[in-house]
Amino acid sequence: MPTTAGAGDLRFSNLHEDILKFQILSKLDGTGLGSAASCSTVLHRLSTNDELWFNICSSNWPSISSSPLLSHFVSSFGPRAFFSNAYPILGGAQYNNSPVKSPPAMLISAVDVFLDGKLLFTRTHETQTATDWFRCSPFRIDLLEPKEVIPMAIRSPEPEKDEDFIDIIIKGMSLSWILINPVDRKVVNLSSHMPLTAERHWLTGEIHVSFSSILAGKSHVMCGINCTCAASEEGEMQVKEVSLEIKDMDGKYLKGKDSLVFLQWALEGKKGTGINRVEEARRRMDEYMERRRWREERMMRVERSLDAFCLATAAIIFIYICYFILKCILG
């Protein structure tokens, strides 16, 4: 009587490997293909095929196939290894005590935005980090030109249906921002994958969608990935901004030199498991906001204590001056 695993191998051995590869395994996504590798020895061997993994990478991130540079990088890096690094969100802690390497001279961003499963926007962007301008200026990557817009193929909602439209954005929009260090061959996905928040600005009417993540080093900073949507004169919704910037716990924007330190830790640090990516990203954001509120409350307590000390000191000085004056007058 054959074991269950042996029976599985026998059944799959009756199918030609091309059928397994191109008709079955090619239909799976990355997590499914990874799980299939543990089902049998045959599937384990077939599921490590680079062509299958490259197609999965290209399907998840069309920016790869649209850029010859990235296609070559993924092929040389190993499509399966690239997926395992780019699919999960960041791990809980990226900082370690190992010596800090020299910062990369260039970083490549591969960005893909989807709406209801349809590709809305894809772009690659190279950031030169060795210039004095980059290191001394606030760190920011803008993917769209000032007057460039991306049509969303949906109309601006009526005021009474605004909440329903926000809900569509929250549930249907996804963004991937893969950061690549091509020299050290490091890859990380900085996005939360799905929106953490989507809010309409009270004055401009623009909808600001946040895909932010938390970078943990010696301190915590917010990697703000923002997508701004606005209505055109014809009433069609458009994407007018896709950007990345980094802020510290006090809400101050980090300069390029300081941002590189956190980005290096993120590139070299541990990745998550890829399970429940959105829930994990929201949990980490909630922890960060709670830590930030606690920090603000502590600073307010310190400021109140300093104010009380200054008032007490001023009162003592005033009383002493009055006493000295009275003493001089009375002889």
At 45 the pLDDT is: 76
pLDDT of 141 over the 90 cut: yes
CA distances, 38 to each of 5, 8, 46, 48, 80 (Å)? 10, 12, 11, 11, 15
- On whether the CB atoms of residues 60 and 32 are closer than 8 A, the answer is no
- On whether the CB atoms of residues 200 and 162 are closer than 8 A, the answer is yes
For CA atoms 267, 252, 293, 307, give the dihedral sign.
positive
Eight-state DSSP code of residue 102: P
pLDDT of 7 over the 50 cut: no
At 112 the pLDDT is: 96
- Residue 148 backbone phi and psi in degrees, to 5: -85, 135
At 8 the pLDDT is: 45
- On whether the CB atoms of residues 227 and 175 are closer than 8 A, the answer is yes
pLDDT of 4 over the 50 cut: no
Cα–Cα distance, 244 to 87 (Å, whole number)? 19
Span 146-186, pLDDT tens digits: 889 999 888 887 776 778 888 889 999 999 999 999 988 99
At 22 the pLDDT is: 64
Span 70-102, pLDDT tens digits: 999 999 999 999 998 999 887 655 555 555 567
- On whether the CB atoms of residues 85 and 61 are closer than 8 A, the answer is no
Tokens of 48: 């490590």
264 or 217, which is more confident: 264
